[in-house]
Chains A and B, each alone.
Chain A
């Protein structure tokens, strides 16, 4: 088989838009891939993956982060997450960074 023909089979979960689980402490969350329009917007939004201080200190960035959390991260009751809930569930900045990484990995 040539390199051009080498193709990884696409799993059903991708075609079905399923998310992946994400664990913080003893709680399990689901991160779902972004819709194409949101993924394009995310790529231009300039949210920092490595520096959560920027995302949390800048009002505009914080609102964007809140948007992506509420649209693409869900708790065990399938309720959308928000920054308020992230605080209540005692996420660390590493957990937040891991969420963004997973969101990027699943979405593009």
Chain B
């Protein structure tokens, strides 16, 4: 099996021992072979990390932890992760990649204003110019 890349999140498990990876797979009730090595187990865990969260299970865990049903939506993800404790992996929401995939703004050296980034107002004015063309 091909080793998972850093972009796939492999760094999360790279320092884990084989026994830790096996224990984590068992805890999550994930299927694996006794012959699976570290790479295989990391791939299995990463695949599981990418699954959408099961909010039924998450709500059940939080209700068992004593949170009221109507209180759950008023919590933040870091708070829910903290309350879930060892079950925090159930939440696999990832905020958008902060480096994004869309084109970035021009570098500051190519900008007017002596290299200073444009103000939001200037950007909106520029955007409005193009909106007339649509």
Contact = CB atoms under 8 A, between A and B. Distances in A.
> Do A and B interact with each other, yes or no?
yes
Interface of A: 2-4, 10, 14-15, 17, 33-37, 39-40, 42-43, 46-54, 56-57, 83, 86-87, 90-96, 100-101, 104-108
A101 B97 CA distance: 9
Given A3-B20, A48-B102, A53-B126, A83 B95 contact: no
B19 to A, nearest CB: 9
Given A36-B77, A93-B120, 20 more contacts: A3-B17, A14-B76, A14-B82, A33-B76, A33-B78, A48-B100, A50-B102, A50-B105, A51-B102, A51-B103, A51-B104, A57-B126, A87-B124, A91-B120, A92-B116, A92-B119, A100-B98, A104-B98, A108-B93, A108-B95
B72 interface: yes
Nearest to B78: A14
Contact of A52 (B20, B80, B105): B105
Contacts of B94: 43, 108
Interface residues of B, number: 41
Interface string B68-79: 000011111111
Interface of B: 15-17, 20, 23-24, 72-80, 82, 93-105, 116-121, 123-124, 126-127, 130-131
Contact of B127 (A36, A42, A53): A53
B98 A35 contact: no
B10 to A, nearest CB: 14
A104 B96 CA distance: 8
Contacts of A2: 17, 20
A47 B78 CA distance: 21
A54 B123 CA distance: 10
14 contacts: A4-B16, A14-B79, A14-B82, A42-B96, A49-B99, A49-B100, A50-B101, A50-B105, A51-B100, A87-B121, A93-B118, A94-B117, A105-B98, A108-B77
